[in-house]
Amino acid sequence: MQYYPRLRDLREDMDLTQDQLVEILKMHKTTYTNYEQGKREPPFELIIKLAKFYNVSTDYIAGLTDNPNKK
C-alpha cells in the first residue's frame, strides 16, 4: 500500500484541520484520516481532486517529484 505523507503536509500548509478538509471534500473524517496515515489507499479521483485543490501535481502528492508545480 502506498503511503502519501504529503497529504498531511499540504493540508497543514494551508492551515486546515482534518475536519475542515473533510467538510470541503464531503467525506467521512475516518476515511480521510486512514488515507493520511497510510491505512487505506486513496482513490486516484481523490488524488486528482486534491492536486487541483492544492494546485500541485499528482506526482508531487505521490512523492515522485519534489517540485510541487504543475507542468
| Each residue's pLDDT tens digit, 13-67 | 999 999 999 999 999 999 999 999 999 999 999 999 999 999 999 999 999 999 9
The verdict on residue 53 lying in a domain is yes
Query: Whole-prediction pTM value?
Result: 0.89
Residue 21 covered by a domain: yes
How many independent structural domains does the chain possess? Answer: 1
Round to whole Å and give the CA distance between 25 and 13: 17
**pLDDT recorded at residue 3:** 73
**Domain holding 30: CATH number?**
1.10.260.40
- Residues 28 and 22 sit within 8 Å (Cβ to Cβ): yes
Q: What is the pLDDT of residue 69?
A: 85
14: in domain:
yes
Distance of CA 18 to the CA centre of its chain: 11
For residue 57, is it within any domain? yes
Look at residues 46, 68, 44 and name the one whose alpha carbon lies nearest to residue 56.
68
**Domain that includes residue 14, residue range:** 6-62
Average pLDDT over residues 10-15: 97
Q: Three-class SS of residue 31?
A: helix
